[in-house]
């Protein structure tokens, strides 16, 4: 295996699915049961903020008792033990990468365990339910608190930093992502254009499979630890 200096790992819902968290886009996923326009857009929040709060309160409560799986643990080990740089860019809003010990982590779609105050713009660690009467810990105002997650129609976070990572990457891994959600689906082409070796690790071939130089298909909890061992023992 080539000597990689800078590994960028993109992760998605398929990684957390094996920890027991529902995916969003599968045929029995969350968007099959909830209309994303009602619960995951700025317009939906304006129309019915209580419904949106309830939706994310449920998601937040669903984290109780859920822990990182062998794939999260392997990626944390890679960051800890690999000689080169390892950055994880995750589309997941759950805290399972942190729980496994990953530190060099970019949450491009925000975090379920953070709240954002639309009145004063501050972010807060948040484990409780959110509601219309929840006061902001910084400005004290109610009615402005929202989950700090990126909704449909909103710009993902940290895009400049991610662009720099994709330029610097010489190995790009895409793990558990469906390959049909932009801008993340375009990262492989970006990394490849800047010379990175690209690998898809996914349960099945994604919609973007043809963009990858190498593909490995199977359950993340099996193929990710195996691939990490290859990198560490190369």
Contacts to Zn ion by CB under 5 A: 117, 119-120, 136, 138-139
Q: Which is nearer to Zn ion, 136 or 228 (CB)?
A: 136
Report helix, strand or coil for 200: strand
Catalytic residue, candidates 109, 158, 194, 217: 109
Task: Pick the closest to residue 201 from 180, 172, 163 (CA basis).
Answer: 172
Backbone angles phi, psi at 147, to 5 degrees: -60, 140
Q: Which is nearer to Zn ion, 140 or 205 (CB)?
A: 140
| Least distance in angstroms from the C-beta of 139 to Zn ion | 3
| Least distance in angstroms from the C-beta of 180 to Zn ion | 35
- DSSP, res 91: -
Residue 109 falls in the annotated catalytic set: yes
Alpha helices by DSSP H, listed for the chain, are 13-17, 30-33, 36-39, 42-47, 49-61, 70-81, 96-100, 159-168, 187-193, 220-232
| Least distance in angstroms from the C-beta of 143 to Zn ion | 10
Q: Which residues contact 111 (CB under 8 A, 6 or more apart)?
A: 93, 95, 148, 149
Q: Which is nearer to Zn ion, 112 or 136 (CB)?
A: 136
Catalytic residues: 109
């Amino acid at each position: 295996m080539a000597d990689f200096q800078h590994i960028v790992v993109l992760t998605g819902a398929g990684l957390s699915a094996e920890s027991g968290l529902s995916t969003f886009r599968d045929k029995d996923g969350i968007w099959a049961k909830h209309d994303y326009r009602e619960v995951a857009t700025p317009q939906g929040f304006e129309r019915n903020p209580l419904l949106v709060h309830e939706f994310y309160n449920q998601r937040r409560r669903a984290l109780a008792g859920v822990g990182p799986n062998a794939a999260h643990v392997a990626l944390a080990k890679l960051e800890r033990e690999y000689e080169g740089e390892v950055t994880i860019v995750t589309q997941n809003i759950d805290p399972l990468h942190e729980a496994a010990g990953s530190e060099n982590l970019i949450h491009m779609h925000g975090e379920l365990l953070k709240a954002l105050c639309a009145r004063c713009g501050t972010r807060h660690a948040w484990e409780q339910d959110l509601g219309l009467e929840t006061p902001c810990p910084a400005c004290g105002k109610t009615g402005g608190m929202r989950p700090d997650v990126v909704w449909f129609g909103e710009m993902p976070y940290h895009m400049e930093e991610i662009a720099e990572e994709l330029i610097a990457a010489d190995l790009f891994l895409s793990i558990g992502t469906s390959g049909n959600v932009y801008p993340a689906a375009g990262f492989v082409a970006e990394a490849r254009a800047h010379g990175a070796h690209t690998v898809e690790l996914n349960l099945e071939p994604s919609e973007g499979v043809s963009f990858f130089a190498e593909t490995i298909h199977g359950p993340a909890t099996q193929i990710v630890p195996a691939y990490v061992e290859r990198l560490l023992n190369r």
